[in-house]
Structure 1
C-alpha cells in the first residue's frame, strides 16, 4: 500500500518567536472548499495565472473531482498536495506534480498557490523545496519542468531562487480576454537539484 507522504521543512525564523514548519499532505475531497475559497474570491485573470487551461472560472467541486481523480496512488501520473502548517494543521497552500512520465523520468510542477492568510510570509519557497524533494528523491525523477507567465515576476524569481533554469520563452502563448500572455518555460534536472542542495547545505 502506498504510504501518505509527509515532510517537514524548517528555516530561519520570520521573527524571534516564530519559525516556519510545514508539511505536504495529499490533497483530498476534504480540501476542496479551502481551495475554492482561495481562488474564487479573485478575478478571472488571477485565476488564469494560477490554473492555466486546467480549470474554468469559477472553480467548482466537479472540476476538482475530475482534477484529483486517480491522483496520489502508486503509479499515478499526478500527485496533488496541500501545504500544511505543522503546528496548527491549517492548510496554507496547494501545489501539484502532474504529467508524470516514468519512462522519460519527468513531470511538471504547477498549480502553486499560497492561501491569502499566509501569502507574503515566506511559505512559498519551502513548499517548492519540498515539492522538489518529493520529485527527485521520492519519485526519483530526472527532470521537473514548469511554465510561468512573463509578467508574474514574484513567481519567476521564486523558481530561479529554488534552482529552476529558464529554457524557453513562448510569445502570445495564452489568450486571456483581448490580451495574449507570454510564458517562460523553466526546468530543473536531478543533477541540478543535487548540486544546489549541496551548495545550500554544505557539510
Structure 2
C-alpha cells in the first residue's frame, strides 16, 4: 500500500539516490547534475510548489514530484521532477504520483490544466503520460546531457471533467 504526503527534510537524501545515471538525472531535472546532492534538490524546491513524495507502508520515500510555473490567467501549472525509486519502477507508482499531482494542482491551486515537458528519447515516460491523458501540444529543441539536440515535447491535460464525458 502506498500513500502520499508533503516532502520532509528527511526525504531529500533518499530522493538523491533515485537517478541511476546522467540520462535519468537529465530526464527528471535537466539543469541538475548527476549525482544529485541534497543542496541541489533543495535549490530546485525553493522555486517550486507542492513538493510531494509517495511513501510505502513503512513511510519510506519511493517517488517524488512538484509543481511550478503557475499561470494564473490560464489556470495552468507545470509538472516537474517526476522520479521513482528504481525498486518501485513498473509498479504503477508513477501513475499514482502523477494522479496525486493533478489533484493537488486542481484542488489546492485552482488549476484547470497541467502541462509538462517530456523528452522524445524518454519513451517510457511518453507512454505513461499518454496513458494518463496528456496530449502533445508543442515542442522545443533542447540540448541533452551530452550536448546533443533532442526534442522536448510539450504535453497538456485538462484537469476538469467535461459535462459531456459524464453523460
Same-fold status (TM-score > 0.5): yes
CA shift in 2, pair 1:23/1:100, >3 Å = farther
Residue number among 17, 31, 34 corresponding to 2:11 in the alignment: 31
- In the alignment, the residues of structure 2 paired with residue 168 and residue 68 of structure 1 have an alpha-carbon distance, to the nearest angstrom, of 26
Bigger RCO of structures 1 and 2 (CA < 8 A, at least 6 apart): 2
1:84 pairs with 2:55: yes
| Cα RMSD, aligned residues only | 2.3
- In the alignment, the residues of structure 2 paired with residue 115 and residue 152 of structure 1 have an alpha-carbon distance, to the nearest angstrom, of 17
CA shift in 2, pair 1:137/1:94, >3 Å = same
Look at both structures and tell me which one has the larger radius of gyration over its CA atoms: 1
1:118 corresponds to which residue? 88
CA shift in 2, pair 1:131/1:178, >3 Å = closer
Contact 1:173 1:182 in 2 (8 A): yes
Residue number among 30, 38, 43 corresponding to 2:21 in the alignment: 43
Contact 1:29 1:65 in 2 (8 A): no
Indicate the SS of the match to 2:95. Answer: helix
1:66 corresponds to which residue? 43
- In the alignment, the residues of structure 2 paired with residue 108 and residue 33 of structure 1 have an alpha-carbon distance, to the nearest angstrom, of 24
Q: Give CA deviations for 1:125-168 in whole Å, capped at 9, x if unaligned.
A: 12111111111123221221000001211111111111111101
1:94 corresponds to which residue? 64
Gap runs ≥5 in structure 2: none
2:151 corresponds to which residue? 182
- Shift in Å, 1:67: 2.1
- Shift in Å, 1:103: 4.1
Residue number among 125, 137, 140 corresponding to 2:107 in the alignment: 137
CA shift in 2, pair 1:176/1:129, >3 Å = same
Which runs of at least 4 in structure 1 moved beyond 3 Å after TM superposition? Answer: 101-104
